Amino acid sequence: MESKRLYRSRRERLVCGVCGGVAEYFNIDPTIVRLAFLLFVFCAGSGVLAYIIAAIVMPDDPN
């Protein structure tokens, strides 16, 4: 059984591919993840820092 891994997307990339990678992992539309990220940025205020950390920590998709 192959385990799912979280990668930054190479196809659904606008900035670093973090939102696209999360969308591919959960098999949902990347636009939904991007909108949720924007809400998180404006409501919580720490979304930009979380995105930067995710962009550093998450590897690129090897495929």
In 3D space, the residue among 50, 63, 53 whose CA is nearest the CA of residue 7 turns out to be 63
Tell me: the pLDDT tens digits for 40-53?
888 877 778 888 88
How confident is the model over 29-49, as a mean pLDDT? 86
pLDDT range class, residue 29, cuts 50, 70, 90:
very high
| Cα–Cα dist 27/23, whole Å | 6
Residue partners of 45: CB distance under 8 A and separation at least 6: none
pLDDT range class, residue 35, cuts 50, 70, 90:
very high
pLDDT of residue 49: 85
| pTM exceeds 0.85, yes or no | no
Sequence ranges of the domains in the chain = 1-63
| Cα–Cα dist 28/6, whole Å | 14
* CA 55 to the chain's CA centroid: 8
